[in-house]
Amino acid sequence: MQTIRVDTPSAKYDVVTGAGLLRSLRPRIEQAVGRLPRRVFVLTSAPIWALWGHCMQPSFAEPPVVLLLEPGERYKTLASVERLLRQMAAAGADRGSLLIAFGGGIVGDLGGFLAAVFMRGIAYVQVPTTFLSQVDSSVGGKVGVNLPEGKNLVGAFHHPRAVFADIDTLSTLPDRELRAGLMESVKAGIIRDRSLVRYMEQHSAEILARNSRALEKVIAASIRMKAAVVHKDEREGGLRMILNFGHTVGHALEQATAYKALLHGEAVAWGMIAALHIARARRSVNAAQLQRLERLIHLYGPLPALKLRAPRVMAATGGDKKNLGGVRRFVLPVGIGDACVVEDVTPAELDAAVRFMLAQAAEKTA
Ligand SMILES: NC(=O)c1ccc[n+]([C@@H]2O[C@H](COP(=O)([O-])OP(=O)(O)OC[C@H]3O[C@@H](n4cnc5c(N)ncnc54)[C@H](O)[C@@H]3O)[C@@H](O)[C@H]2O)c1
Ligand SMILES: [Zn+2]
């Protein structure tokens, strides 16, 4: 069991990770929020509640009010928010109520948003159940929903009172979801933590076999990295941008494939490869480092093929426009374990990186 403190100007809370947390949730939540309020709401989705609800339920003297969100990004909407806020109001939620967001990143983002806006803000706790949500989305206070015009366009900063990442829940996660989530840990290592890179290189078999000790190590290191970054830059004024390593091209790939062909972590993996290519061309990483990091990324594959042409990807990054300046920030690794943000990547550099990535995708996924 490991506890990592998140300390930002607007909130301080613990992220606890380890096995068996669901069964001991009550005293832990009480420690974080004081006595359990009369009304506890659990936002989850039916499959997660069916798999893991029974482990959580004994924590409550009175059964919580269970709010269900349909699984899938297309339900991360304001329509769901309105429906769920009305359910909360009808069930007697008040300022003192507590919400527990119990699920993957979609449940976490939407649950945090419900807690941010219900009566201008109530307390909530994150209980993330996917690898990605345990290492990334549950920490840092960014909550929100999508609009038809784009992802995460509506949101708030609202930190949870605590995060409980129970590693046991990962035992039912589909393999592809685990591998995609691990890409955010690969990212964490590359930008900020050499020893995490080394650990993930040396222990991929245990990690992918879901050995609890190995998972706990990777998850705790990833959270520690994010907590340290958010501590220094809560609102993404500067340093927090480095968390977007791999995400400029990653988001473009997700958008160009209509969010259907790739999981987020898979898109980020290809995006990291493109960014690494730019870093290599600028001598920010050397040939041996490039090779080592590419190998690490593919260790947590297989990555799906990219059935896209370069101009389509360039258009999705906005990189086909003349003026990249200030709009397309790029995070480039500096050696292994450090990164910088640059704003002068030229369309030609980006185009070369995208072509390199597509060629590698064609070769590796043939
Ligand atoms: N707020 C942030 O800082 C931040 C950061 C990164 C990502 N996000 C958001 O996170 C979301 C993606 O999160 P995700 O990858 O967790 O996806 P997700 O919430 O869709 O979960 C993935 C799938 O796994 C299922 N699942 C969840 N837990 C399970 C378990 N223990 N066993 C079996 N199946 C399980 C879900 O029902 C779903 O089908 C996106 O909406 C993204 O925008 C937010
Ligand atoms: Zn991400």
pLDDT at 61 > cutoff 90: no
**pLDDT tens, position by position, 303-342:** 999 999 999 999 998 865 544 444 467 999 999 999 999 9
Same domain, 276 and 219: yes
Same domain, 227 and 357: yes
Q: Coil, strand or helix: which one is 10? A: coil
pLDDT at 69 > cutoff 80: yes
Lowest-confidence range among 128-137, 144-153, 285-294? 144-153
Domain boundary among 144, 172, 200: 172
Same domain, 95 and 145: yes
pLDDT at 174: 98
Q: Which ligand is nearest to the CA of 70?
A: 1
Q: Is 106 in the pocket of ligand 1 (CB under 6 A)?
A: yes
C-alpha 195 to ligand 1 mean position (Å): 26
**164: closest CA among 90, 108, 245?**
108
Same domain, 318 and 336: yes
pLDDT at 37: 87
Alpha-carbon distance of 171 to 199, in angstroms, equals: 21
Name the residue of 6, 74, 106 whose CB sits within 8 Å of the most ligand 1 atoms, as the mutation to test its pocket. 106
Q: Which ligand is nearest to the CA of 271?
A: 2
Give catalytic residue positions.
120, 142, 184, 226, 236, 240, 244, 247, 251, 264
Q: Is 320 in the pocket of ligand 1 (CB under 6 A)?
A: no
Q: What phi, psi does 96 have (nearest 5°)?
A: -90, 0
| Total of domains in the chain | 2
Domain that holds residue 42: 2-172
Alpha-carbon distance of 141 to 139, in angstroms, equals: 6
Strands (E), 27-111: 40-44, 65-68, 98-103
Same domain, 151 and 180: no
Name the residue of 76, 81, 109 whose CB sits within 8 Å of the most ligand 1 atoms, as the mutation to test its pocket. 109
Tokens coding 5:
């403190």
Q: Coil, strand or helix: which one is 342? A: strand
Instruction: Give yes or no for a cis peptide into 160 (omega within 30° of 0).
Output: no
- We report the CATH number of the domain holding residue 336 as 1.20.1090.10
Same domain, 97 and 161: yes
Q: Coil, strand or helix: which one is 66? A: strand
Q: Which ligand is nearest to the CA of 142?
A: 1
Q: Is 173 in the pocket of ligand 1 (CB under 6 A)?
A: yes
Q: What angle do CA 238, 240, 243 make, to 5 degrees?
A: 130
Domain boundary among 172, 189, 222: 172
Same domain, 269 and 356: yes
Mean pLDDT computed over every residue of the chain: 94
| DSSP-derived secondary structure letter, 344 | -
Q: What phi, psi does 276 have (nearest 5°)?
A: -60, -35
Name the residue of 22, 43, 133, 134 whose CB sits within 8 Å of the most ligand 1 atoms, as the mutation to test its pocket. 133
pLDDT at 321: 56
pLDDT at 38: 82
Q: Name the pLDDT band for 120 (thresholds 50, 70, 90).
A: very high
Same domain, 112 and 228: no
**pLDDT tens, position by position, 102-116:** 999 999 999 999 999
Q: Name the pLDDT band for 59 (thresholds 50, 70, 90).
A: confident
- What percentage of the chain carries pLDDT values higher than 90? 87
Q: Is 97 in the pocket of ligand 1 (CB under 6 A)?
A: no
pLDDT at 116: 98
Domain boundary among 118, 152, 172: 172
Same domain, 81 and 182: no
**pLDDT tens, position by position, 160-200:** 999 999 999 999 999 999 999 999 999 999 999 999 999 99
| DSSP-derived secondary structure letter, 337 | S
The residue that leads in pLDDT, 21 or 237, is: 21
- Ligand 1: which atom is nearest the Cα of residue 45? 37
Same domain, 64 and 202: no
- We report the CATH number of the domain holding residue 16 as 3.40.50.1970
- Ligand 1: which atom is nearest the Cα of residue 51? 32
- Ligand 1: which atom is nearest the Cα of residue 109? 1
Q: Which ligand is nearest to the CA of 130?
A: 1
Same domain, 138 and 209: no
Q: What is the end-to-end Cα distance of the chain in Å, rounded? A: 42
pLDDT at 132 > cutoff 50: yes
Tokens coding 69:
């969100």
**pLDDT tens, position by position, 82-93:** 999 999 999 999
Q: Is 222 in the pocket of ligand 1 (CB under 6 A)?
A: no
Ligand 1, atom 7, lies closest to the CA of 137
pLDDT at 326: 41
Rounded to two decimals, the pTM is: 0.96
Q: Is 172 in the pocket of ligand 1 (CB under 6 A)?
A: yes
pLDDT at 239: 86
Same domain, 54 and 112: yes
Alpha-carbon distance of 319 to 256, in angstroms, equals: 13
